[in-house]
Structure 1
């Protein structure tokens, strides 16, 4: 179905066409060309990281990051449960074992208390985790101060899955730059896009050099093809990077627009009983990639699924929040530390249209649909 109001739709109103044509004219369309370097440099400057490595997806970035952290067969990696499967699947690619941790209610991200419980439990079993993966869901920064303290206390490297958090900050520092390695996604529905793409960032030069090497099929610098290690075809192509560069030029403005969209939703819904928004803690600045709400059915008279269907019938796209990974059939039996927070968020939550070109009138239409349904029980 072609939605009248899609959930998160890319907007190309800058230099995208110009840069694409320049990339085509250069003859460099694959994993070599000036736009790859320009994109990496621009991303590094915006995030204030040492450097970035442009890759073909966020999942590729996660896979490489875990490989660079030394994760291998039998190793355990702690990952928050309330996230997209791509946060955990690369652990399994490498023969590792994910250990899932529940969320906390203040940001919906990994609970620091439960994280420490999980670390202590695994150490007691003689299975000290090889890494910790924290995710900034829907652009909302996790409780990084507490999580970093735990990672440092037990000397476990932290990997930041900032796939959804390009442009988000925590205490004036960019998400993705706190851990040993950070990753971003530039998929078609993200706040900025390269069509499909991702990036790995770090302040460790050796990590960056190794990432570039492995992502380019581990080809040696020789006049013929020689490989000393198994590599991967993970580099971003020049055409995608040309789109990404144009998108990065508008990142700060688009973060402001997504934050404005979230603010307008809050104003429109402020008198609606039973509807709550994802909290933003003091010191955090979410890019609000997606505006998300929780629906208390006893107060509203409708569930998240009923609202989703109502919006669908009007050509408005919405989406459930992530189904926790510890509840996914593919991860049945994987150790989980926590209670029902992530599950509750999934059962009550919904993502609303959040594209940067969403108008106030568009949002008012959504509010009127909800208000009409609420009036049935008043």
Structure 2
């Protein structure tokens, strides 16, 4: 039997055609028309995804997308655009991938971690409020917040964004996992923040890594709200080369721009985005329905803050109801050629960041201790999905009988 992977790339004829078109054009260097087109198409998608504001899908003139080599590069540039300097404090979601915190260290700044909210698994607005007040009172206020939209679901920006505005800090939306997600304030249908993920902060970032819902194999995108920020980002991403005929550099820049061939794949993927999301949603619903007889399973609370993209189907195992641990289940799946993965290990538990400050931490620890991600790829077949369900079911049944 072929191995079933967690979230492999789902590419096909459309992406192949786009890649060959770019290759045959001769634009193989990391510049070219595919990059410009990918950026423009992403602006149009983000503009049209919120029909209430742009029913005709016309591009917004206050929205700019910069295609980059990775989501991490986008985070780094967002921090630089926010004027983060050595010694500054930057608040970061605790329950996230390490790139969110590492980008802060690139700037010589100090990450301060915030716990999760059980109702969304995302950053807890109450922890944010406590951290902002505490750090301000101590005389070293936070300068920015990096808020992760975890597993393709938005955080509660209806509460988070006003807190950031009140304290005058930059809100960087780490939507690396959330392209195609739509935010909806659970208490207000008229919130101007309602709309596609990536637009709720001062800056938004996407990742197009190989395991993401929309992939270019590797790459990312920075979303900014004005022309000057977009120009600055592109300048820094191309080694800060001055606009002169010779190579002149007056400040440190980076090799962060996306390549033309990569962008072509992204265009093909973007054209398929609704289908990619629909496929993952079907998998999540199928898991829920097939495993409904097992109350020891609790699922990620998708839908709490809008329409998710269902990037990964994540579960929690109730230790009071089963002897099956996430690691035991992971090994049972692996023995049958099925990849699964623990939920993110919180940043405050990582050796790299164990000395950093954390507000809260018990929720993210609990999620990590009891959670597992099941195979969720857009190309997952019904037969493969049934293989996963069978192993999960058999493992839970076996330990029920043992008890």
Tell me the TM-score normalised to structure 1 length: 0.97
| TM-fit CA distance, 1:26 | 2.0
How big is the shift at 1:326?
0.6
Unaligned runs of 5+ in 2: 48-59, 185-193
| 1:98 and 2:111 are equivalent in the alignment | yes
Q: Which moved more, 1:109-118 or 1:272-281?
A: 272-281
Greater displacement, 359-368 / 312-321: 359-368
Distance 1:314 1:336 in 2: 39
**CA offsets per residue over residues 65-96 of structure 1, 9 Å max, x none?**
10110011000000011000001101111110
User: C-alpha offsets along residues 343-363 of structure 1, whole Å, 9 cap, x if unaligned?
Assistant: 000000000100111123322
The answer to whether structure 1 residue 155 and structure 2 residue 155 are counterparts is no
1:278 aligned residue: 300
Q: Is the 8 A contact 1:14 1:247 kept in 2?
A: no
What is aligned with 1:357? 379
Q: Please tell me whether the aligned partners of residues 94 and 114 of structure 2 are also in contact (alpha carbons under 8 angstroms).
A: yes
Spell out the pairing of 1:82-161 with structure 2 (5 A cutoff).
82-161=95-174
Q: In structure 1, what is the Cα distance between the partners aligned to 2:295 and 2:14?
A: 44
Kindly indicate whether the alpha-carbon contact (under 8 Å) linking 1:23 and 1:239 is maintained by their aligned counterparts in 2.
yes
Alpha-carbon contact 1:35-1:242 (below 8 Å) kept: yes
- Specify the alignment match of 2:18 in structure 1: 19
Q: CA deviation at 1:227?
A: 1.8
SS at match of 2:320: helix
**Cα pair 2:216 2:266 within 8 Å, conserved:** yes
Per the alignment, residue 192 of structure 1 pairs with 214
Q: Which residues of 2 match residues 1-378 of structure 1 at below 5 A?
A: 4-48=3-47, 50-171=63-184, 172-376=194-398, 377-378=400-401
- Helix, strand or coil at the partner of 1:121: helix
The C-alpha deviation readout for 1:17-66, integer Å capped at 9, x for no partner, is 22212222222212211100111111111122612100000111111110
Q: CA deviation at 1:184?
A: 0.5
Q: Give the paired residue count.
A: 377
Deviates more, 1:362-371 or 1:208-217: 362-371
Structure 1, gaps ≥5 residues long:
none
CA distance in 2, matches of 1:281, 1:120: 30
TM-score (norm 2): 0.91
Q: Tell me the alpha carbon deviations over residues 158-210 of structure 1, each in whole angstroms, 9 at most, x when there is no partner.
A: 00000000000112501111111000000001001111100000112211110
